[in-house]
Chain A
Amino acid sequence: MHGIRGVVATLLALSVAGLSARQVAETRPATSAVARVVSRSTPHLKFTATISPVVIVPGARLSIVVDVVPNKGMHVYAPGTQYRPVEIRLQADSSLRVHNPVYPKPTVYRFKPLNEDVLVYDAPFRLVVDVIAGDSVALRRQLRGRTQITLRATLDYQACDDRLCYLPASVPFQWTLRVAGE
């Protein structure tokens, strides 16, 4: 009796495990079809850059979200100061129209040696840029015949800590996206 119960329990466990594995397997492609993520790490910060959706539909909007985590004690500059602000630079592609990036509210950093207030990011923050692919007849024509587009970008910044400034950095990353047929 114990033997049969054991076999049934094992079969149940296996079927549950199989189901879970299938769910995971089904979830993965669905997730990767929605967004594509790249991560980079430098001596000053870490960031993940996410683009969604990963299939370019002419005229539709793509959203790029870059989550940046400065290392402890490190800050990068926000726009609106005389210093180099952090920014996402997208390599020009004639079929894409890049919107202005959206920056979060920076913090005010008191730089004692110069007795000046500067706008910085010294805690995790998010940059968002929208891109429209082929939003005009001319741009749509340029998309025609292309099955995929590699979108190349860099995260540019200049970091300082409480004693020194690091050289300006430009960290490259890219996504390859499929172009939906018309």
Chain B
Amino acid sequence: MRRVLLGVLLLAAVAMQDRAAAEERFRPFKLKTLEGSQRSLPDVLGKATVVIFFFPTCQYCNAAFPEVQKIYDAYKDRGLSMVWINVVPDEEPLIAGWLVTHGFTVPVLLGGRSVQNDYKLVMTPTHYLLDSRGKVLSRHAGYTAGDEKALERDIQQALGQ
């Protein structure tokens, strides 16, 4: 009886570990670019990768992204990959003009309602920092002036600098 109980406990512990490991992985995606081609998670992974969920008329995204763009410019040649995923489909027509207006060059992918559900999004901007295998290193939602410094520190750490 004691052996059976021990076995059940062991199995439960293994199952919990598996679930925890699975939760640390960023959920894979396959999304369209503005040009219409497809990109999946492995396509965009760098030595470190920042994925940010946004939509063009999100006020805090507009506040955060000039700083995030600077980080991208500073670290893209050192192994940083970045992608912004639009989560409001009816704002897709705004994106191309919005990128030009603000001088943003970070690649954009077109998400949709399913992305909102898949990643349990309720707010923007929401960003994830991933390692080279897609493991989630950190997650952050919202923007307060100075948040970009914390993101940059995390990126430096992930890039091993």
Chain A residues near B (Cβ < 8 Å): 43, 82-84, 111-114, 118, 158, 160, 163-168
Contact = CB atoms under 8 A, between A and B. Distances in A.
A111 B59 contact: yes
Nearest to A109: B59
Contacts of B122: 43, 166-167
A164 B88 contact: no
Interface residues of B, number: 22
Contacts of A82: 57
B57 A114 contact: no
Contact of A113 (B55, B121, B145): B145
A163 B57 contact: no
A83 B88 contact: no
Interface of B: 55, 57-64, 87-88, 116, 121-125, 141-145
Contacts of A114: 59, 62-63
A113 B144 CA distance: 8
Contacts of B61: 165
A138 B52 CA distance: 52
A167 B59 contact: no
Contacts of A158: 57
Contacts of A118: 59
Nearest to B125: A164
Given A113-B64, A114-B62, 17 more contacts: A83-B57, A83-B59, A111-B63, A113-B143, A114-B63, A118-B59, A158-B57, A164-B142, A164-B143, A165-B58, A165-B59, A165-B60, A165-B123, A165-B124, A167-B121, A167-B124, A168-B88
Contacts of B141: 164
B57 A160 contact: no
26 contacts: A82-B57, A83-B57, A83-B59, A111-B59, A111-B63, A112-B145, A113-B63, A113-B64, A113-B143, A113-B145, A118-B59, A158-B57, A160-B59, A164-B60, A164-B123, A164-B142, A165-B61, A165-B124, A166-B122, A166-B123, A167-B55, A167-B116, A167-B122, A167-B123, A168-B55, A168-B88
